Amino acid sequence: MPIVYPTLGQQIKAAQRELAMRRTVYAKRVAFQKMTQAEADLEVELMAAILKTLEELQQQDLFKTHNPPR
């Protein structure tokens, strides 16, 4: 059975969901002192950078297929 990888569009949507979730959840964790603001900011910035990278790849049309070459 061949390995099927998610498309770039699917990866972008997942990263968007993850970024939104982090912003919501980490704000609550900071409020309850389970995480520092600096930690929350870093984790949100990391996911935002991942999303930006994926979006730039999509704009450059580097991935025309969802399966990598063999």
CA gap 34, 27 in Å, rounded: 10
State residue 23's pLDDT score. Answer: 98
* Pure H helices in 1-70: 8-31, 37-60
CA gap 62, 12 in Å, rounded: 14
CA gap 66, 26 in Å, rounded: 32
User: What pLDDT digit, counting tens, does each position of 10-50 carry?
Assistant: 999 999 999 999 999 999 999 999 999 999 999 999 999 99
Please state the rounded mean pLDDT for residues 57-69: 69
> How many CB atoms within 10 Å of residue 40?
19
Classify 62 as helix, strand or coil.
Answer: coil
The model's pTM: 0.80
Classify 68 as helix, strand or coil.
Answer: coil
Q: pLDDT band at 64, cuts 50/70/90?
A: low
